[in-house]
Structure 1
């Protein structure tokens, strides 16, 4: 294993890819190899040389172009495996080491027999969510809450930080030529934000507080802006994130070190409070500080993935009959709506990109930068072919 926090390059690593439970698996018989960033364990990601996958029936082969490094990726790097399976995943059969990268775009290289939704040469984006279609949640129509949920780039089928990837055709969505591949790499996190807003009771003219101005929080700001929010208030500490929030349409930036967030929200809303609060931070103190900012019969939507179990001031929620709910991932409608919003120019997220790096730089200039230099970054993209 490489030292903690390191990225090493391995030569001709034998791929570890089980076929158990994977109905789309195609045997890797190609003599050609490719570079792929793989997670081997906590603090251990490597640029490996592995066998290039082959495209089979019902599958699509893509040449990834740009891949966003997600907060979930960073969490796996520092505390994983969590979403990455330590044992073979129930749906893909994959286990460590796994190729990573689930926010990505690219060019379609090849399509297998029976594939009609994309064709070679097209720009495309990948919806990475994998679900079983048979659990209770899936049967109810909530596939994104699947009991065996997985992700391309975390759970199998390869990952975007690879020179090539093969996956079932249903995961690929064609894009028009005028959407850049850099912008397309932001579709997946924007879909998380879009779904959270749609899941909430938000309506045009509402007052909204967003806790946390990271990529998801900034995405929520953009979605609320085009859907007609009145006051978009963002509670954030970092200067760069304050700037992003303001540029993308936040009406008020609240620094918890300088103001009482709940008091300011009440003042800005005529004493009523926020109609909806979106928690994109996952910090106990921040959440408890935001509860009194929410109006009676308002709603708090949790989007954050919490690293530690919080102690929540439940009585404050109960006495004001505040609804507290979670927003998990996104449905296909949200994913497609983001694509349409980009096509029609309603979303213009390009300024979120604060860095572009090569595969070989993923460790130092990607993961380590997001861990130790967060104030200067919103979204770092890996240029796979660069």
Structure 2
């Protein structure tokens, strides 16, 4: 069948290309229903990545956060109409030690590999996760970001000391908010503190124990473990502030992405015997666990819905451009695309 793919060919410029796909291949044919724009998509869309990277990766279909429905399955494993989360990470080899999202050869949609801005996507059976029909699809369209936070929490759980009476989250944006939701559920008896700098954003964290402004921390504050969800230039001050207030032998989960090297207070880090845990993307297992987490904790969907920003119906390329341009001025939440091309 002929499939239309909407590719970014240059900053702020989309074009349609056509691929001939064999529906009898060992794939499930999925129709994307809702997509969500990520900051990484915007770096490509605006051309803020360096020219070398853009030249290497474009043309490319954007977006790696999506939910869709099965339209054809030659094996009959899934019924037509089944709603599924789409896993953007696509490993091409197995490794018994290294996770699929850390194997260098793994492909990742919307990062050098076509994303979900297509009429149909052809997914391996292990790259889709079934979800209930009655779940809010527009909200779970950004489940990929939830799985990123989930993955980081699982890594910290496995690699950190057993004392987990308190957690600190640096970053009052989308990732910080999701991390706070998950920690509140996974560690109900622990203290959850959020550190940020914007009143409007911090007002969303009503379910945590305390929110603090990064320039006005109380004296003698201590946390057992920290999550850095800031990224960019701000990650340096965030990490060093965590090092200042974290207890000895605590762990710091790093989730924020910085384009440039940062300086870290290694003297105090060594003195306290701290552990830095890097975390990137997520695996199909994380998607499965998050889908089960939704089922067991339906109130989480309600909390995640507060992240939903504007929803755009995209029927043509101009609509897609409008959605991306609007998202650039969004200070809180996720821009959602209802994909009806």
1:1-386, aligned counterparts within 5 Å? 30=2, 34=4, 36-41=5-10, 43-48=11-16, 50-51=18-19, 53-77=21-45, 78-80=47-49, 86-87=55-56, 96-112=58-74, 114=75, 116=77, 118-134=78-94, 138-156=95-113, 158-201=114-157, 206-229=165-188, 230-246=190-206, 249-257=207-215, 259-260=216-217, 263=218, 266-267=220-221, 273-282=222-231, 283=234, 284-344=236-296, 345=298, 347-348=300-301, 349-359=304-314, 360-366=318-324, 368-371=325-328, 373-375=329-331, 377-385=332-340
SS in 2 for 1:144: coil
**Is the contact made by 2:84 and 2:131 (CA closer than 8 Å) also made in structure 1?**
yes
TM-superposed deviation, 1:205:
5.5
**Is the contact made by 1:53 and 1:165 (CA closer than 8 Å) also made in structure 2?**
no
Aligned residues, how many? Answer: 327
What TM-score results when the alignment is normalised by the length of structure 2? Answer: 0.86
TM-superposed deviation, 1:66:
0.7
SS in 2 for 1:297: strand
**Is the contact made by 1:83 and 1:154 (CA closer than 8 Å) also made in structure 2?**
no
CA distance in 1, matches of 2:54, 2:21: 20
1:253-308 residue CA offsets vs partner (Å, 9 max, x unmatched): 22224x13xx45x44xxxxx111100011221222222202111111110111122
1:190-236 residue CA offsets vs partner (Å, 9 max, x unmatched): 11111111111376852111111222211111110101252211112
SS in 1 for 2:277: strand
CA distance in 1, matches of 2:13, 2:229: 26
Q: Which moved more, 1:122-131 or 1:181-190?
A: 181-190
Where structure 2 has 5 or more consecutive residues not aligned to the other structure, the ranges are: none
Where structure 1 has 5 or more consecutive residues not aligned to the other structure, the ranges are: 1-28, 88-94, 268-272
**Is the contact made by 1:76 and 1:84 (CA closer than 8 Å) also made in structure 2?**
no
User: 1:9 is matched with which residue?
Assistant: none
CA distance in 1, matches of 2:299, 2:130: 19
**Is the contact made by 1:277 and 1:290 (CA closer than 8 Å) also made in structure 2?**
yes
1:119-147 residue CA offsets vs partner (Å, 9 max, x unmatched): 3211111111012225xxx3314111111
CA separation of 1:191/1:84 partners in 2, compared to 1, >3 Å: closer, same or farther?
farther
1:80-102 residue CA offsets vs partner (Å, 9 max, x unmatched): 37997854xxxxxxx53111111
Relative contact order (alpha carbons < 8 A, sep ≥ 6): 1 or 2 greater? 2
Superposition RMSD on alpha carbons, in Å?
A: 2.6
What TM-score results when the alignment is normalised by the length of structure 1? Answer: 0.77
**Is the contact made by 1:65 and 1:104 (CA closer than 8 Å) also made in structure 2?**
yes
TM-superposed deviation, 1:316:
1.6
CA distance in 1, matches of 2:9, 2:168: 39
CA distance in 2, matches of 1:352, 1:86: 33
